[in-house]
């Protein structure tokens, strides 16, 4: 049996835990593959993908800042990648390239499966309207919460996101709204921070009044970058959750796309968490 090659491409990429996660998935499922990381120069994404395919690469994950460039390289996009207009997973099948986006299903699987929180019929506040928010909105709609309010500093980006998802929301009976953070009123069952605010020292982009007592408050970041949000959520009576579970679950879905096998994500999440300080 040959060893198939995969990698994650990004800039920066040094910090990525994807090689560890996929190596562990491969071990646990008996799949023969190698998964590396490639630092891709800005402006060099298409060339890096061409080179990796020429070396025999079977697929790659795509991270910041290339997720929006990635769909243009695909000969076929999954509906969820089309809706997100961003792709974090490419699969190479001869001349064909499948572009997918597994971020949203990763978040949904983490909230439902690992945190044990049902999303159906609930009120959700999604902070942010960048690439991560675009990736998660469609899969969140598909699990039929009552409503999703998107709060973003740049209102026009939130409005554009809800316009693009209006038909899907109508199909699933989900109410969508776009507001600025200062306009947040009322309290929510689930609050998701998909902004990069803490990276720029911007603090928590949501008022604490948005948290119902016992609400689930998820940050898509993990590690030290998520600590401020996790502490804030706990101080205000919510149940905090960082983005490590989403990271492992989106990887599990990519592994399924590539290998046709769903790895034991919950086990790998527990192992990964145990390796962190
Ligand atoms: P992005 O496309 O650059 O979008 C950034 C978002 O953050 C925008 O909504 C932006 O608002 C907002 N923002 C930035 N600084 C802010 C501030 N000071 N105050 C308020 N809002 C601010 O980034 P992204 O790709 O969406 O990533 C967002 C986060 O999700 C990143 O930290 C990333 O690490 C994380 N993520 C995690 C996973 C996982 O598997 N756990 C997967 C994907 C992403 P404007 O529109 O107003 O600029």
| pLDDT value at 2 more than 90 | no
Q: What is the pLDDT of residue 189?
A: 98
192 CB under 6 A from ligand 1?
no
Pick 199 or 92 by higher pLDDT: 92
Asked if 4-101+246-275 and 117-242 have one fold, the answer is yes
Q: Give domain 117-242's CATH number out of 3.40.50.920, 3.20.20.100, 3.40.50.720, 3.40.50.300.
A: 3.40.50.720
246 CB under 6 A from ligand 1?
yes
| pLDDT value at 236 more than 70 | yes
Q: What is the pLDDT of residue 202?
A: 73
d(CA 103, CA 109): 10
The pLDDT tens digits for 256-270 are: 999 999 999 999 999
Q: What is the pLDDT of residue 129?
A: 96
* CATH code for residues 4-101+246-275: 3.40.50.10860
The pLDDT tens digits for 28-62 are: 999 999 999 999 999 999 999 999 999 999 999 99
Pick 238 or 1 by higher pLDDT: 238
Place of tokens 């061409």: 50
Q: What is the pLDDT of residue 74?
A: 98
Q: What is the pLDDT of residue 200?
A: 72
**Active-site residue 67, yes or no?**
yes
Catalytic residue among 17, 58, 67, 212: 67
d(CA 90, CA 258): 9
Q: What is the pLDDT of residue 1?
A: 65
Q: Summarize the confidence of residues 101-113 as an average pLDDT.
A: 98
Q: Summarize the confidence of residues 159-172 as an average pLDDT.
A: 98
Q: Ligand 1 centroid to 55 CA: how many Å? A: 33
| pLDDT value at 113 more than 80 | yes
Q: Would you kindly state where each structural domain of the chain is located, as residue ranges?
A: 4-101+246-275, 117-242
The pLDDT tens digits for 178-235 are: 999 999 999 999 999 999 887 776 788 999 999 999 999 999 999 989 999 999 999 9
Q: Summarize the confidence of residues 101-105 as an average pLDDT.
A: 98
Q: Ligand 1 centroid to 197 CA: how many Å? A: 7
Contact 60, 8 (CB under 8 A): yes
Q: Ligand 1: which of 63, 196, 229 to mutate, judged by most atoms within 8 Å of the beta carbon?
A: 196
Contact 158, 130 (CB under 8 A): no
Q: What is the pLDDT of residue 54?
A: 97
Q: What is the pLDDT of residue 197?
A: 85
Q: What is the pLDDT of residue 105?
A: 98
User: Which DSSP category does 115 fall into?
Assistant: S
| pLDDT value at 136 more than 70 | yes
Q: b/e map of 78-87 (b: 16 or more CB within 10 Å)? A: bebbbbbbbb
Instruction: Give CA separation, 83 vs 153, 205, 224, in Å.
Output: 22, 25, 31
Contact 179, 126 (CB under 8 A): no
């Amino acid at each position: 049996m040959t060893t198939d090659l995969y990698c994650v491409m990004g800039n920066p990429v040094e910090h990525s835990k994807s090689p560890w996660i996929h190596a562990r998935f491969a071990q646990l499922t008996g799949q023969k593959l190698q998964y590396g990381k490639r630092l891709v120069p800005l402006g060099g994404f298409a060339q890096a993908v061409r080179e990796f395919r020429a070396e025999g690469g079977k697929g790659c994950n795509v991270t910041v800042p290339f997720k929006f460039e990635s769909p243009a390289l695909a000969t076929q996009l999954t509906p969820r990648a089309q809706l997100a207009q961003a792709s974090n997973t490419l699969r190479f099948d001869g001349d064909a390239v499948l572009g997918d986006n597994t971020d949203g299903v990763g978040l949904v699987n983490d909230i439902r499966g690992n945190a044990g929180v049902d999303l159906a019929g609930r009120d959700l506040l999604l902070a942010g309207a960048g690439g991560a928010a675009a990736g998660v909105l469609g899969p969140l709609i598909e699990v039929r919460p009552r409503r999703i309010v998107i709060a973003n500093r740049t209102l026009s980006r939130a409005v554009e996101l809800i316009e693009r998802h209006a038909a899907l929301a109508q199909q699933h009976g989900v109410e969508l709204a776009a507001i600025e953070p200062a306009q947040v009123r009322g309290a929510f069952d689930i609050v998701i921070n998909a902004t990069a605010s803490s990276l720029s020292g911007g603090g928590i982009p949501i008022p604490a009044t948005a948290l119902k007592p016992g609400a689930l408050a998820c940050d898509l970041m993990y590690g030290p970058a998520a600590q401020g949000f996790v502490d804030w959520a706990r101080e205000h009576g919510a149940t905090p959750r960082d983005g490590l579970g989403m990271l492992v679950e989106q990887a599990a879905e990519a592994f399924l796309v590539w290998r046709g096998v769903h790895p034991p994500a919950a086990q790998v999440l527990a192992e990964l968490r145990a390796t962190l300080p």
